[in-house]
């Protein structure tokens, strides 16, 4: 069992946002959790996950999720705000933008339906791959 204060994660700072690791995938069978902070007018880069679903719980701020489901050809957008939850299915292209005057802060839970990727068994391994791709 793991119990952690939501403000005591290990920060991974990217050019557009910060992921504060709370629960590493190395300590689970197939999930991980972090707190994501996006500053006003910034965004998490558009990306897709082939091996995990994502769940968000919006704690503070306002955002815009731009996404495209695998079976669709056009983007869709949905505004999000504190108190809402979001589910991003496998292979869904998505981007989250902070549209408010204050940072957008949300809890991210990654779920790996087929287990953790063998080539990225830890968050650190995943973060190194992201950094190499100029995330």
Q: Summarize pLDDT for 39-89 with one digit per residue, the tens.
A: 999 999 999 999 999 999 999 999 999 999 999 999 999 999 999 999 999
What is the average pLDDT across 24-33?
97
Closest CA to 85 of 52, 53, 58, 54: 58
Candidate CATH numbers 1.10.1670.40, 2.60.40.1180, 2.102.10.10, 2.60.120.10; the one for domain 10-132:
2.60.120.10
For β-strands 17-23 and 10-13, DSSP reports them as antiparallel
Helices marked H in 33-78: none
Q: What Rg do the C-alpha atoms of the chain give, in angstroms?
A: 14
Domain spans of the chain? 10-132
Does the structure show a pLDDT above 70 at 135? Answer: no
CA distances for 29 relative to 15, 49, 103, angstroms: 30, 18, 32
Enter the pTM of the model: 0.94
Does the structure show a pLDDT above 90 at 120? Answer: yes
CA distances for 18 relative to 12, 52, 68, 84, angstroms: 6, 19, 23, 20
57, β-bridge pairs: 85, 107
């Amino acid at each position: 069992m793991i119990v952690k204060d939501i403000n005591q994660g290990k920060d991974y700072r990217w050019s557009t946002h910060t992921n504060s690791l709370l629960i590493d995938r190395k300590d689970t069978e197939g999930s991980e959790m972090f707190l994501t902070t996006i500053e006003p007018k910034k965004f998490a880069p558009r990306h897709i996950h082939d091996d995990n679903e994502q769940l968000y719980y919006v704690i503070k701020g306002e955002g815009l999720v731009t996404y495209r489901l695998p079976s669709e050809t056009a983007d869709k957008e949905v505004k999000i705000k504190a108190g809402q939850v979001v589910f991003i299915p496998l292979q869904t292209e998505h981007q989250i933008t902070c549209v408010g005057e204050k940072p957008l802060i949300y809890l991210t839970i990654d779920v790996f339906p087929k287990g953790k990727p063998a080539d990225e068994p830890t968050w650190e391994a995943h973060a190194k791959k992201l950094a190499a791709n100029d995330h």
